[in-house]
Copies of this chain bind each other. A is one copy, B any other.
């Protein structure tokens, strides 16, 4: 079931397996096993990397659950993500060459090591690697943008609802049940992730339970009405600003830029 082969008593994966794991299209057929990536195991509670630590490797989650956190000046954790199978870790370290977040295993984990030096060196030989990296980083960026939108605009209930839906979809992707699963994180961690307190998370779950949207038994969640959860929205839909928006657009697009050769896509919507 698990990708990889034994060598020196360790698991290793080839490029194809890595790309499959990342759910990113592999364009080419690289001669399979001449380049292999090492696996490493971490136990629950262990830290994969810490803030400020010199960056030199990226990680891909092969199995297990983790959290990444920021830590403020008082030692308070801010959860940024809950990486699981197929997610990449450590990308935030590329820019400054120091990790800017901390990654902690929430369960026993199997990670694939991608030494960054090796990876860039490989770029010269296997050009499609470049696109794989762009794709993964872009995906992560989009995810974070959605997160910002959620934190900036949604009510507590909507956040919890979407969190559950997103989790369910991830579990489905991994081949697990999307109707019944166990949370690997505490209410406190969920709250931190969603910008809420643990009490609010707990109360919201209880409320969903009472309405019949889900069942809750400690960390076991049953999804009863995924559609209702998906469409749960912020309380006041904010009276329509559509009219003035449309007007502003027409006005703005009236005068137009006209580039020389290739006219850039000035969307008229």
Q: Which residues from B are CB-within-8-Å of A146?
A: 70
Q: A248 with B152: in contact, given A92-B145, A130-B130 (CB under 8 Å)?
A: no
Copies of this protein chain in the complex = 2
Q: Are B260 and A9 in contact (CB under 8 A)?
A: yes
Q: CB of A138 within 8 A of chain B?
A: yes
Tell me the minimal C-beta distance from A8 to chain B in angstroms.
5
**In the complex, what residue of chain B is closest to A133 when comparing beta carbons?**
B134
Q: Are B261 and A145 in contact (CB under 8 A)?
A: no
Q: A78 with B149: in contact, given A42-B257, A127-B124 (CB under 8 Å)?
A: yes
Q: Is the interface of A mostly helix, strand, loop or mixed?
A: mixed
Q: CB of A211 within 8 A of chain B?
A: no
A102-115 CB contact bits vs B (8 Å, 1 = yes)?
Answer: 00100000000101
User: With A and B bound together, what is the CA distance between A262 and B40 in angstroms?
Assistant: 10
Per CB-CB distance, the 3 closest pairs between chain A and chain B, nearest first, are A45-B252, A94-B138, A95-B138
A sample of 22 inter-chain contacts (CB < 8 A) reads A8-B261, A38-B261, A40-B264, A46-B252, A48-B264, A53-B267, A56-B265, A57-B265, A70-B146, A76-B153, A77-B245, A95-B141, A100-B142, A100-B145, A101-B145, A104-B252, A124-B127, A141-B141, A144-B147, A147-B148, A152-B193, A152-B194
